[in-house]
Structure 1
């Protein structure tokens, strides 16, 4: 038994508008887009996934902020005034190492841990404070015979910091006793360090983080909204609702509405995620790199919108080629391959391959922003990548629109891509 598509009969309203011409359906895509947005905003899975991603970002930056704000401060129990002096010297060395005096021999390699002293009456009280967990360690003894006391082990940061201070103090005292200076004793023993790219480590770290975030967000949006479009199309096709819609509005308008609705939602998500990321970044050790990250994020959003529109059209085609929901997994498999190539390319491409990937449409969505963060891309390169992506997307959209219109009314069986491209209108 075959079913013929429904056709719309002229209504009295059409005759009433005869004087001014046929009623325009050019704005029908707005209604479709609005419906797609409202349906998605009421979808529990969409809401949960969005809130979960936001929570992940907040927790990640919260942990980073807490760890970064600790400043390595530890509590140490002391008994004598000499022990207090050692702790104060340790804190002074930490301050000098964190400040502008990092090139001096006195602070070269000095640990940056800070120690908060807890004055106790005697060694027994100090040991009890360690057992009770009130302090991280205790410094007992006297000049020339210091002992660090821990519970089941001495904190490595405290041991390194105190040992460096005690060694420097002993060196000064021994030099004074020998009638010389520390500078004379250590002359020629200091190996200086000079970095050709002082910010290289920070750039590499933020490149890894930014690259992962860009790739993760793109992958999540492509999968979440892409499959949502494909499933929506095949559901309307399987239930024959599309035949009613085709009798009321042009299929081109239906496709545009679905793509615009999905793109608006995806872009809204991206803006929220990127904003949270940039705000969180300002509270981390990478805050100084915020200007370069902001520029990369803006280009990411631009390239994302263009690339996502093309992908959304292709997912709509994949849905139109299917006849039931079970077919979507097969018809979307080439698109999933493209998404995975972008995913792994964004994570692992380096050097020349990364430069090439930053000009490849869709892949440039993640690789170009990564290069911008790393500072390996000139100002004009993202503009060129955008133009290439825009031209490619226009071609893809044009072809996808034709295939969609030809495939959506075919209800006999699942179509292959070759069959869909060869269909006549």
Structure 2
């Protein structure tokens, strides 16, 4: 008689929860970084103060420039009679156009107004003569739109060059140090409190690094755009539309270079911070990266009109975000140079991000003494 053996049903083990995709993990970490920063009162207050300082510096500079006294101008014939007594103008009457031009070239007056040679009787057709630009107050004082003749190609004044260099330098420096330091602090806090062990059980180290870089890059880029918009509004309010149009291309390139350059620096900040496990040791590992941010700032301030120094800076990845926009503003860069400089910056960023991800991943779970760079680079 045959017997049948009852088979015991196999106990099914619960399926492990699928790991989140890389993109979803990066999005979650980036959103966490952005949310935590926006909830920080210190960050919000410091951002508002920075905005107010930018706006105040632009408005005060415009008011000071307006209160420098009457504008000296030369005028010929009936034009002198028309301008005599108008506020903001110090009129010197001369008999001929040649004498008016001579006063402009010698710097005795800022501009001159003369009747056109083919002017109709009454002398209503007027020509304004300037050296490198036409005095705006003279153009506004005339009842008609005059023809403008410039005796020399316009050049950017040293004060404006310094102002633009200071703007690019300080914005790059403050944003890089502020948000780079935030990344470093976050990395060390997660290692010190062992939170990183929980995070790595759910997502990869590459996703964690990418999320931190993306989140802080969004914050830094958003702050830069807000400063640029506020500066543009300030220039329009004080009537510096010409300077605003000159700054437009260089600011656009600055935003592009900064967006890529900050990713490079953010990866270095995160990788450097992963080498230590205590807040007390952060300063020592971040010193080289801080120098890479400080050196371009000081170079662009002290050598803002040195073509050789700016040329070298525009091709060094760590200084290109300030060096190349300055050359574009000064119109000393060929059309292809920003593209080559950008390509060098992108290639360097890719290499640094790859190396930084390796250092970051190999150092996150190692606590205690500082991890040596050579050990962190090994698989």
TM-score by length of 1: 0.67
Q: Which runs of 5+ in 1 are unaligned?
A: 1-10, 75-84, 113-194
Q: 2:22, 2:88 → 1: CA distance?
A: 75
* Residue 418 in structure 1 maps to residue 378 in structure 2: no
Q: 1:346 to 1:110 in 2, by over 3 A?
A: closer
For 1:10-409, what aligned pairs fall within 5 Å after superposition?
12=14, 14=16, 24-70=21-67, 72=69, 94=90, 104=100, 109-110=108-109, 198-202=153-157, 204-284=158-238, 286-349=240-303, 350-409=306-365
Q: 2:89, 2:197 → 1: CA distance?
A: 78
Q: 1:382 to 1:103 in 2, by over 3 A?
A: farther
User: How many residues of Structure 1 are paired with residues of Structure 2 in the alignment?
Assistant: 312
Superposition deviation, residue 282 in structure 1:
3.2
Q: 2:20, 2:86 → 1: CA distance?
A: 83
Alpha carbons 2:172, 2:258 under 8 Å: kept: yes
Q: 1:280, 1:301 → 2: CA distance?
A: 19
Q: Aligned with 2:370: secondary structure?
A: coil
Q: 1:395 to 1:105 in 2, by over 3 A?
A: closer
Superposition deviation, residue 89 in structure 1:
5.7
Alpha carbons 1:96, 1:107 under 8 Å: kept: no
Superposition deviation, residue 382 in structure 1:
1.0
TM-score by length of 2: 0.75
Q: 1:30, 1:292 → 2: CA distance?
A: 38
Superposition deviation, residue 359 in structure 1:
1.1
Q: 1:352 to 1:411 in 2, by over 3 A?
A: same
CA RMSD across the alignment: 3.0
Superposition deviation, residue 416 in structure 1:
3.2
Corresponding residue for residue 152 of structure 1: none
- Cα displacement string for residues 41-92 of structure 1 (whole angstroms, at most 9, x for unaligned residues): 0112211211111001111122123234447369xxxxxxxxxx9x956969
Alpha carbons 1:300, 1:366 under 8 Å: kept: yes
Q: 1:23 to 1:296 in 2, by over 3 A?
A: closer
Superposition deviation, residue 107 in structure 1:
6.7
Q: 2:251, 2:99 → 1: CA distance?
A: 36
Corresponding residue for residue 143 of structure 1: none
Corresponding residue for residue 8 of structure 1: none
237-246 vs 282-291, greater mean Cα deviation = 282-291
- Cα displacement string for residues 307-362 of structure 1 (whole angstroms, at most 9, x for unaligned residues): 10011011101111111111100110110111111112222332222112111112
Larger radius of gyration: 1
Q: Aligned with 1:332: secondary structure?
A: helix
- Cα displacement string for residues 229-257 of structure 1 (whole angstroms, at most 9, x for unaligned residues): 00100000000000000011111110000
- Cα displacement string for residues 141-172 of structure 1 (whole angstroms, at most 9, x for unaligned residues): xxxxxxxxxxxxxxxxxxxxxxxxxxxxxxxx
Superposition deviation, residue 12 in structure 1:
4.5
Q: Aligned with 2:274: secondary structure?
A: helix
Superposition deviation, residue 377 in structure 1:
1.0
